[in-house]
Amino acid sequence: MHDTDDIDELRKRYSELAALAGSLAHEVKNPLSVIRMNMELLKEDLDEVGSVQARRASERVQTVNRQCVRLETMLNDFLRFTRFSTMEFTAGSLNDQIRQVLDFFQSQATQQGIEVKSYLEADLPSIKLDPQTLQAAMVNLVKNAIEAMPNGGQLVARTRITRNGVALDLIDTGCGMEGETLLRMFEEFYTSKDAGTGLGLPTAKKIIEGHGGRINVQSDSGQGTQFTIEFPTPKRI
């Protein structure tokens, strides 16, 4: 078992490494943005030419541009992942947090034929939370649920009181997850999506654990998924 000095040293090294990785990602992002913008301009020029060769070149430029967009998305997710080392906590309502997230996705859910239902415990105790990061975690979970139901379905958000705190259940009737995805979903850079970065769920988990909480998932392929996040309630708040 590590003593306190060893743990402090490990934390210090981790913070330094995270800061270095974040700086590197930021430095890569800037020239990548320049490449992407110039690819877009080059495509516009090629489209104006109109020849067969220009159309072929334009298609290749578009392929490069799509990969630039994908890399930018990955870098943005990575930067978010490395920035959640410090959070400022205040007393807040888990109900208010999930309401705001559901409101944000309501239009997209309606367009996809998804029915959103919420059952929020009226007497839910307050918890210590960092509003910005906690919402980012819940946005990721709700986004995943909606993406799992491209042909419609139902998303249920339910808050409840537990023995040691409060919990939020997010239940969808989507495609569910296969065994390997279920086992590896919280691994950094693991993804089963063509355009995924593999950092969304690890970031959500990191944020929730930073709040002293925990996240659990139950899923069956073709049957849907339930995420449950639990948070402790302070003795005095």
Structure tokens at 32: 């990548």
| pLDDT confidence of residue 231 | 94
**How far, in Å, CA of 58 to CA of 62, rounded?**
6
Contact present, 165 and 233 (Cβ < 8 Å)? yes
Give the residue numbers spanning the domain of 69.
4-83
> How far apart are alpha carbons 177 and 184 in whole angstroms?
11
Q: Is the pLDDT of residue 236 over 60?
A: no
- Is 237 part of any domain? no
pTM, two decimal places: 0.67
Is the separation of the CB atoms in 208 and 167 below 8 Å? no
Give yes or no: residues 120 and 163 share one domain: yes
Q: Provide the pLDDT for residue 237.
A: 44
Token pair 């067969």: residue: 52
pLDDT of residue 209: 86
Domain finish residue from 50, 83, 116: 83
15 has a pLDDT exceeding 60: no
**Is there a single domain that holds both residue 151 and residue 206?**
yes
What number of other Cβ atoms are within 10 A of residue 226's Cβ?
A: 16
Closest to 131 measured CA to CA, from 91, 76, 167: 91
- The label of the residue with tokens 């944000």 reads 104
Q: Which of 135, 131, 106, 101 has the alpha carbon at shortest distance from 204? A: 135
157-207, pLDDT tens digit by residue? 999 999 889 999 999 999 888 877 777 877 777 666 655 566 778 888 888
Average pLDDT, the chain: 82
pLDDT of residue 20: 60
End residue of a domain, out of 25, 55, 83: 83
**Which token pair is 89?**
């906590």
Q: Is the pLDDT of residue 79 over 70?
A: no
pLDDT in tens, 94-123: 999 999 999 999 999 999 999 999 999 999
Task: Count up the domains in the chain and report the number.
Answer: 2
For residue 58, count other CB atoms closer than 10 A to its CB. 19
